[in-house]
Amino acid sequence: MNRRRTISAVLVAVGALVYGVSPIDVIPELLTGPLGLADDLAVFVGAGFAVWKLLSGHQRPGNATPPPPAR
């Protein structure tokens, strides 16, 4: 596995965890109650998806490497 992808996945996961435990939120829980957890949940789901894509080797269609030339 590519070392750069692994480091990127770890940084995404750590960033999501830091956001989750941070008292600063886009939607504060103290003002909106359980609705305030929606932004935390969205960050965790998005980070989980990003980590999965990084570690599973999935690429965007535009970034695919071309096949080797036929001989």
Cα–Cα dist 62/71, whole Å: 25
Domain ranges, ordered by start, for the chain: 3-58
The larger pLDDT score, comparing residue 5 to residue 29, is at 5
Cα–Cα dist 47/41, whole Å: 10
DSSP, collapsed to helix, strand or coil, labels residue 15 as helix
- Global confidence as pTM: 0.71
Cα–Cα dist 51/6, whole Å: 9
The mean of the pLDDT values for the chain is 85
